[in-house]
């Protein structure tokens, strides 16, 4: 595979060999980051499991985390729309 990559890009040209090296470096960085992302994702799942084990509602926790990512104006707008829809459906 390495020979195909360098052979396809190199063609005996030093610039292409450098490009192949850069491509390989980018791919390897992405692979490392994907591994880190999976590890972090697993750690987050563990924290949710721990919270659930102590009696917390993880669905509510996820909603709080989602809301905290928004600024105050975005939260207020979403709440207003939700209230409007609930009123229209007779839920208030």
Span 53-85, pLDDT tens digits: 999 999 999 999 999 999 999 999 999 999 999
Spatial distance between the Cα atoms of 47 and 42, rounded to a whole number of angstroms: 9
Number of domains into which the chain is organized: 2
pTM of the model: 0.67
Q: Indicate whether 42 and 78 sit together in one domain.
A: no
Are 5 and 21 a contacting pair, CB within 8 Å?
no
Query: Phi, psi (5° rounding) for residue 84?
Result: -60, -45
> Domain of 17?
1-56
Are 11 and 37 members of one domain?
yes
Classify residue 70 by its DSSP letter: S
Q: How confident is the model at residue 14 (pLDDT cuts 50, 70, 90)?
A: confident
């Amino acid at each position: 595979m390495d020979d195909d990559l360098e052979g396809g890009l190199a063609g005996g040209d030093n610039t292409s060999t450098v490009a192949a090296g850069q491509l390989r470096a980018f791919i390897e960085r992405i692979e490392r980051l994907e591994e880190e992302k999976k590890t972090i994702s697993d750690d987050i799942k563990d924290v949710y499991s721990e919270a659930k084990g102590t009696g917390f509602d993880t669905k509510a926790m996820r909603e709080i985390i989602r809301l905290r990512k928004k600024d105050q104006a975005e939260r207020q707008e979403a709440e207003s729309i939700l209230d409007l829809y609930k009123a229209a459906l007779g839920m208030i």
